[in-house]
Amino acid sequence: MKQIDLMKELHVPSDKKIIMLVMDGLGGVPGAGGKTELEAAHTPNMDRLCRDSICGLSTPISPGITPGSGPGHLGLFGYDPLEYQIGRGVLEALGIGLVLTPKSLAARGNFCTLDPATGVITDRRAGRIPTQKCTELVEKLSPIKLDGVEVIVRPVQDYRFALILEGEGLEDGLSETDPQRTGLKPLQVKPLHPGAKKSAKLLNQWIEKAFAVLKGESPANGCTLRGIAKDPGLTSYREVYGLKACAIATYPMYKGLARLVGMDVLDAGTTISSEMKTLKDNWNTYDFFFFHVKKTDSSGEDGNFDAKVKVIEEVDAIIPEIMGLKPNVLVITGDHSTPSVQKSHSWHELPVLFHADNILADAVSEFGERPCMSGGLGHIRHVDLMPLAMAHADKLTKYGA
Amino acid sequence: MKQIDLMKELHVPSDKKIIMLVMDGLGGVPGAGGKTELEAAHTPNMDRLCRDSICGLSTPISPGITPGSGPGHLGLFGYDPLEYQIGRGVLEALGIGLVLTPKSLAARGNFCTLDPATGVITDRRAGRIPTQKCTELVEKLSPIKLDGVEVIVRPVQDYRFALILEGEGLEDGLSETDPQRTGLKPLQVKPLHPGAKKSAKLLNQWIEKAFAVLKGESPANGCTLRGIAKDPGLTSYREVYGLKACAIATYPMYKGLARLVGMDVLDAGTTISSEMKTLKDNWNTYDFFFFHVKKTDSSGEDGNFDAKVKVIEEVDAIIPEIMGLKPNVLVITGDHSTPSVQKSHSWHELPVLFHADNILADAVSEFGERPCMSGGLGHIRHVDLMPLAMAHADKLTKYGA
């Protein structure tokens, strides 16, 4: 039996409340000083909390796999990321704050350079044009209309844009138009099953009109469409867990990911302290709180060890306020590791602090990668966290008699 | 390849003997004194044994899942409890000591209250009538006969009884008759596939006759049937492991579970010392011994921390006698946790002590939840125990060349 189905079958109501505090890209590897960012950070509040908690290390997907934001969060939310996949077009749309509906079909677009004479691609990324140029081109593409559907086109970054069609009968299951190497013409969108014919026809019409608009531009006189997909239609938190769940996040991508599993997305401002205020203001309304902190990841991606340490310390400073709310379960972890020394997401396991009633507290007294290696939770996977949180909040009944 | 199939393929004979000593509901969480029941118990013999053993924590089903007795034991026996499920009717029958055959179809019955005028259910549990009343009603139902099959009906507890039909061509795959809420009439049993038509017809005939008998009774003037199921037909221990296995248990449920996997059920009396005597008396006859101690669980369910500690100490006292038999493999664990502070089964991992020749002994020197957290076995699952026991008893050959 799949975990999602097990949760659907076993969940029962309780008054208890769960907070999942996610520091994006939390995990690290040692920097010059021999410590990871979390180990180097001064975190007296989380260290104290460790003593009444069980700690461990968690693998987001499976050993050695570096997750993108989508799979990392699906794992945290309890949806096996190897089974449930979110199309790139959908993630691109969520990342710029577009709200998708069941009628939306989303694609990632790449501007490219075509040889004016032959029409073959000479640069798949149009010389990596700056975002400003991308925005100007998208403005020129915006007036394109298609019969019977709404068309939304938005700049993303550099040569990337998002294209969304909105209307009845738009199915996914479509080939991409990027031939994956230069010297070939962009491909047509092909339906991979009969139900996707309408979508393919409309997208090919859009491409034809777009090429007409872009003709004469340089270097971006063409484009390709990739990852054409719909909202994957994940079973909602309400149905899987019986939870009334909300997301407290400052970045569009994470609000969008939370929306995919049916969480309410709260207005949380732009700082950790505005997020904290949102948590307090909504404490009585929900029983599950996904609290997302972005800047651990961004500073890791920048290779800025000290900045990441500071963000972790800023989170540590709100722990007393969080504990003041008396959550029944508080899980502190990240979606994946982003070691500053690697300047990118990584596959490393990342520390988990799990605090709850009826916990088998371990001997870990400091929240960090190395102390968590010998924690009582052992080595778990992200998908294990939600069942454990549900159990400790008395929200799961017995399996079998 | 499924683990069961791997075991079937790889098992080879050896003279070595395995004891699986199961303290039901062994695992706990800290009580007022900061220790679990096992940690608080004075267990010099198990502690000494730890030093020549490898220890760890085991998850019965999967993280966060609280098992019933059925799934907990299936895991210990090496049958994945998420794949192999035992119907509630079967467990109810096993729990009162009924022996099922491949011709048996077992249902759990609930007495209920019907509105005499309309026939709708007004109380799904007939006011939770006492067991004495249940027994009287079952006596009235006992004379009911059906064509071509034997009918067995037995009281269980309160409003619950067991109904078994025994005969040729009885398949399961049947709907339940409890409409799950009051204000509705009991449903008919419906076959969920054509092969179950005969069973459905007979059960509906029995219900009709039962309602005629119960008419005029108060408050239990009706009944519903749930969890209608056959023995799941698990591949036997002999076939999976090549073991001649026996069960030494004092309670019907555990004898019944052992019978489901083809173990011989020995007469073990009612106490730990009579069980010990049974083990000694049968030492030469078997090569696998499932030794079940019930009262750790019952005292946990009662919330009686001290009583659970005493049962554990009583088990500790027989360890020298067990070791005197020189078992080649001795596994000491439980089917699930039953923390006294929770007064119920729980999801917590539980300690495992694994003693054998050729063991990679770890540094654990005290048998308890927290010491086992850093044990050499790490965090395993119940289904891992049988393959490990088989391996350490030289009963598994190499996989692949």
> For A126-134, what is the mean pLDDT?
95
User: Quick one: residue A41, left, alpha or beta (phi over 0 = left, psi -120 to 50 = alpha)?
Assistant: beta
* Mean pLDDT value across chain B: 96
Put simply, the answer to whether A398 touches B66 (Cβ < 8 Å) is: yes
Q: What is the pLDDT of residues B352-392, one digit of tens each?
A: 999 999 999 999 999 999 999 999 999 999 999 999 999 99
Per-residue pLDDT at B128: 93
Radius of gyration of the CA atoms of chain B, in A: 23
Q: Say if residues B124 and B182 touch (Cβ distance below 8 Å).
A: yes
Determine what percent of chain A is predicted with pLDDT higher than 90: 97
> For A156-178, what is the mean pLDDT?
96
Residue with tokens 């059906």: B146
Number of residues in chain B: 401
Per-residue pLDDT at B26: 98
> For A273-290, what is the mean pLDDT?
98
Please give the helix or strand (H or E) that residue A74 lies within, else none.
helix A69-76
Residue with tokens 């099922």: B100
Is residue B395 scored above 90 in pLDDT?
A: yes
Q: How many CA atoms, within 13 angstroms, populate the side-chain half-sphere of residue B282?
A: 24
Find, among B5, B86, B11, the residue nearest to B288 by Cα.
B11
Question: Any bridge partners for residue B229, and if so which?
Answer: B106
Put simply, the answer to whether B348 touches A360 (Cβ < 8 Å) is: yes
> To the nearest whole angstrom, how far is the Cα of B96 from the nearest Cα of chain A?
14
Instruction: Return the structure tokens found at A393.
Output: 């909040």
Contacts of B346 in chain A (CB under 8 A): 358, 391
Contacts of A360 in chain B (CB under 8 A): 29-30, 36, 348-349, 369-370, 373
User: Quick one: residue B227, left, alpha or beta (phi over 0 = left, psi -120 to 50 = alpha)?
Assistant: left
> For A116-124, what is the mean pLDDT?
96
Per-residue pLDDT at B165: 98
Per-residue pLDDT at B401: 84
Q: What is the pLDDT of residues A70-83, one digit of tens each?
A: 999 999 999 999 99
Residue A237 Cα to chain centre, angstroms: 16
Residue among B29, B62, B88 whose CB faces A360 most closely: B29
Q: pLDDT band for A401, please (50, 70, 90 cuts).
A: confident
Residue with tokens 């770890």: B362
Q: What is the pLDDT of residues B167-186, one digit of tens each?
A: 999 999 999 999 989 999 99
DSSP secondary structure letter of residue A11 = B
Q: pLDDT band for A1, please (50, 70, 90 cuts).
A: confident
Instruction: Return the structure tokens found at B253.
Output: 């449920």
The contacts of residue A163 (CB under 8 Å, 6+ apart) are A89, A106, A107, A108, A109, A151, A152, A153, A206, A225
> For B332-341, what is the mean pLDDT?
98
Question: CA-CA distance, B330 to B49, in Å (whole number)?
Answer: 10
> For A166-193, what is the mean pLDDT?
96
3-state SS, residue B123: strand
Contacts of A12 in chain B (CB under 8 A): none
Chain B contact present for A32, CB below 8 A = no
Determine what percent of chain A is predicted with pLDDT higher than 70: 100
Contacts of B35 in chain A (CB under 8 A): none
Question: CA-CA distance, B149 to B283, in Å (whole number)?
Answer: 40
Q: What is the pLDDT of residues A239-262, one digit of tens each?
A: 999 999 999 999 999 999 999 999
pTM of the full predicted structure? 0.92
Q: Say if residues A230 and A102 touch (Cβ distance below 8 Å).
A: yes
Contacts of A399 in chain B (CB under 8 A): 61, 65-68, 71, 81
Q: Say if residues B350 and B38 touch (Cβ distance below 8 Å).
A: no
What ipTM was estimated for this complex? 0.91
3-state SS, residue B399: coil
In chain A, residues 336-375 whose CB comes closer than 8 Å to chain B? 358-363, 374-375
Put simply, the answer to whether A388 touches B30 (Cβ < 8 Å) is: no
Chain A residue with the nearest C-alpha to that of B31: A358
The contacts of residue A197 (CB under 8 Å, 6+ apart) are A191
Residue A264: what are its φ and ψ, rounded to 5°?
-75, 135
Is residue A89 scored above 90 in pLDDT?
A: yes
Is residue B123 scored above 90 in pLDDT?
A: yes
Number of residues in chain A: 401
Question: CA-CA distance, B194 to B196, in Å (whole number)?
Answer: 5
Question: CA-CA distance, B11 to B78, in Å (whole number)?
Answer: 14
Chain B residue with the nearest C-alpha to that of A363: B370
Question: CA-CA distance, A108 to A87, in Å (whole number)?
Answer: 9
The contacts of residue A128 (CB under 8 Å, 6+ apart) are A158, A159
Cα dihedral across residues B324, B326, B327, B331: positive or negative: positive
Find, among B25, B53, B82, B14, the residue nearest to B295 by Cα.
B25
> For B97-107, what is the mean pLDDT?
94
DSSP secondary structure letter of residue B309 = H
Q: What is the pLDDT of residues A32-41, one digit of tens each?
A: 999 999 999 9
CA angle A8, A12, A16 (to 5 degrees): 120
Taking one residue from A and the other from B, the number of pairs with CB-CB distance under 8 angstroms is 93
Per-residue pLDDT at B104: 96
Determine what percent of chain B is predicted with pLDDT higher than 70: 100
> For B202-209, what is the mean pLDDT?
98
Residue with tokens 């022996």: B99
